[in-house]
Amino acid sequence: MGSSKQVVPRERRAFSAEFKAEAVRLVAERRAGGASLTQIGRELEVRPDQLRAWVRAQHEAHGAGTGPTGETPQQELRRLRWEVATLRQEQAFARKWRQIQPVRATACANITAGVRKPSVFRGRLLSCMAI
């Protein structure tokens, strides 16, 4: 049929612990400067997902509560500000939900207790009318 290509399997490379540690240090330095994992991987001739796995492994080895490996003060500040903004959004959402939820809970309790009859249109609860 078509041309038959002979596929030669790649030989699996082994990396020393020193190489991995140096690569993780280089990733931290270069990422602070704005380089992508793909660029760093090309320089080291290593796939970006392999670099990511080494960074994650070193992070877990040094304890998950100590912060990301090689994080500069500016990166930590940026990360913490992002976390604060996210938490504020979640808090605002929870505040709004608490304002809405008691109305729904009261309406549902009154309907199930037989105090009110639900007004339903196309499967949606519109309001409750007195029985």
The residue ranking higher by pLDDT, 42 or 6, is: 42
Bridge partners (DSSP) of residue 125 are 120
Chain segment 101-123, per-residue pLDDT in tens? 665 555 556 555 655 555 555 65
The residue ranking higher by pLDDT, 63 or 129, is: 63
Q: Which domains are delineated in the chain? A: 15-71 (1.10.10), 88-131 (no CATH)
Phi and psi (nearest 5°) for 53?
-65, -40
pLDDT of residue 9 exceeding 90, the answer is no
pTM of the model: 0.43
